[in-house]
Chain A
Amino acid sequence: MSIDKSMNVLIVDDYKTMLRIIRNLLKQIEFNNVEEASDGGEALAKLRAGQFGLVISDWNMQPMTGLQLLQEVRADARLKSTPFIMITAESKTENVVAAKQAGVSNYIVKPFNAETLKEKIEKVLGHA
């Protein structure tokens, strides 16, 4: 069974440049239906309004952080099973532990490469 690459992917980051980079990297691995949000609040609104098969989010954003977004997603009956990958420069043990406890599907530390992104996406979508 192959990955459904037509699924909607939501990428969340307050750096426009980073959104552009992730969008282009996703395009290269054939995920073309990508939507963007610049913070947790905007992302949550888009998630509640649409259908997304994967969320890829930064952590350090204002006013709603990636961790708060993850907690909101996991607390929402309709969204709670959505795969959620955190891509962040936060690389301390307590960050990884907090994200895991909040229900993160996988965790990528910046700077990352395309191969790591592809591998983690495959893993969370159940095709490792």
Chain B
Amino acid sequence: MRGFEPPQEFRELLQSRFGVVEFPSDAPPLVDRSRHLELARVLKEEHGYKIFVFVVASHWLENPKGPDPEHYELAYALRTPGEGTRLAAWRVRVENGQPIQSLAHLFAGADWHEREQFDLVGVVFEGHPDLRRIMMPDDWEGHPLRKDYAIETACPPWR
């Protein structure tokens, strides 16, 4: 059990309106970058996925063995409240330097979560009302959870 089995209605929605054909058994399904805001809106307004759960960004360096360039992967999750609660999770792939649309106007909770992912991973969220660092000091250089930010890297002395 991986915790990502898409609920029936979510699977049907992805298949019929968002052209998703692949449902990997060990990860949430991938949704196109340009459609993911719409997906979140449809889930919230038509299917009752009202509870915001998380936004997680992960950084992937260029694969030396394959043609995979440097990119980010964002995972999103929403949940229905109450009896028979269901989790709808999906992933979005973002190429290096591309922005991704913010969910902050749809889900107030996305505000801090996206700020955290921006702060730690360096993903830029388009349309975020207040995108600034949340965990690290304002004058920090770099984004610590990137894979090219090694744990041994000497950091500039801070105050």
Asked whether A and B interact, the reply is no
Binding site for A on B (CB under 8 A): none
Binding site for B on A (CB under 8 A): none
